[in-house]
Structure 1
Amino acid sequence: MKADPATQLRLLDLQAVDSNLDRLAVRRRDLPELAVIAEHTKTVDSLKADIVRVETEISDLARAQRKLDDEIDLVRARADRDRRRVDSGQVSGVRELENLQSELASLARRQGVLEDEALEKMEAVETLDGRLAALAAERDRVQAEVDVAAARRDEAFAEIDAQAAERRRERERLAPGLPAPLVTLYEKIRSTSNGVGAARLVRRRCEGCHLELSGADLREVAAAAADEVVRCEECRRILVRTAESGL
């Protein structure tokens, strides 16, 4: 393939633009804020799940507490009714009086048990309320960090995208001025060589693979016509000769 030396040098300009675009893409992909957002979002989701579980526990306890309160009211009403019968003096039989007194004692014990259970439920709800408040506060704190990281990410994206747009415009100005076959070869090599399709030969070293050419390879490159498109024997990238090549 033939291309005059000036055209080959412009190919290096195209490579510089493409390398810049690749670096911008890597920078965009590897922004530290993205890792922070991903990690903290998982934490927020976990905290939200914990909050739902605690809220469910509180709801279950509240329902159980209401059931206990209703049962306590029933026991208290039964005891009040029996007490009124005893206090009214209407119970004349000794056996009936003993039965009522025994039932009052049993109802008092039952009421005490129910009230203890209700108190336990109340204390458990208070503990869970504290846990819920702590979880909500932690969720809000971590979410705030996510929001800050997202704002920084968006700011960085805007800056990177603006630079990438400028590089793409520069590429659109450069590429049409190069021979299509040369650009096709360059693109083919670039796609399989870590984004580098053309490299400068500097002091007998290929800047693509960073290896020094052997004596035989160097003599072959030196003997090639100035408009000959030469390739590095090691990495097969297009090798562009300059005044610094050491030929």
Structure 2
Amino acid sequence: MTKTAVKEDFRFSVLGPLTVAAQDGSHVSLRGSLLPALLTELLFHANRCVPTRRLVEVLWGDTPPKSYVSNLHTYVSRLRDRGIPIEQAGGGYRISLDVTDLDLLTFHAEVDAGRHAARAGDYPRAARHLRRALEQWRSPEMCAMDQPHLELEAVRLETERITVIEECVDAELACGKAGELLGELDTLVRQYPLRERFAAQSMRALAAVGRRAEALQVYQATRRALVDQLGIEPGRQLRHVHEMILNG
């Protein structure tokens, strides 16, 4: 018979240090390294079965103990005893959560809603959803940074986070919020000097508030970085924004 945990009202967070917060605000303590590793693997694949062989690899690598099956069951039971809803399914284990139970699920749901609104031309709604998605990130140093088994997921998610920032800024620029975005865009251009879309957005925002000369300076600085570090000229989008500002 499949054993399922008695579900408590928890909020799980992985977009930052791993936290498991109860409804009353208290936090569940997970000692050692194996319980956090097991839980993060399940959370990053929430509502999907994670095969036993994968969980064994996560916990012990290429040298699992002879009693790995019972050991794994012991660790799962420890999480269940804390009220974490883990069930056996399809030759492995699954944690079943609602979208609002896990910041990663909330992030993806808000991104999907934001992109849907943007495609429909509803930029205020798109911006609201995309900002809510970004608010799920408590720190760029997400919990996967400390979990070798999630390194590829961490890289992929960080790339997606940056893309969502770009999409959110585009939506907010379309809403006429250029002045409100100047400080954030200045920081982003400095942080990601080779990211042409941020440079183009910064130029558009500066030009929109009458700071044309500064917008052209952003172009020159970005072009210099691209040539010096990558040996390439700016792409079509950035050149187009540059030409538009030059032509007034």
> If the TM-score is normalised by the length of the shorter chain, which range does it land in?
under 0.3
Q: Give TM-score scaled by structure 2 length.
A: 0.25
User: Greater relative contact order: 1 or 2 (C-alpha under 8 angstroms, separation 6 or more)?
Assistant: 1
Q: Give TM-score scaled by structure 1 length.
A: 0.25
Greater helix content? 1
**Rg comparison, structure with higher value:** 1
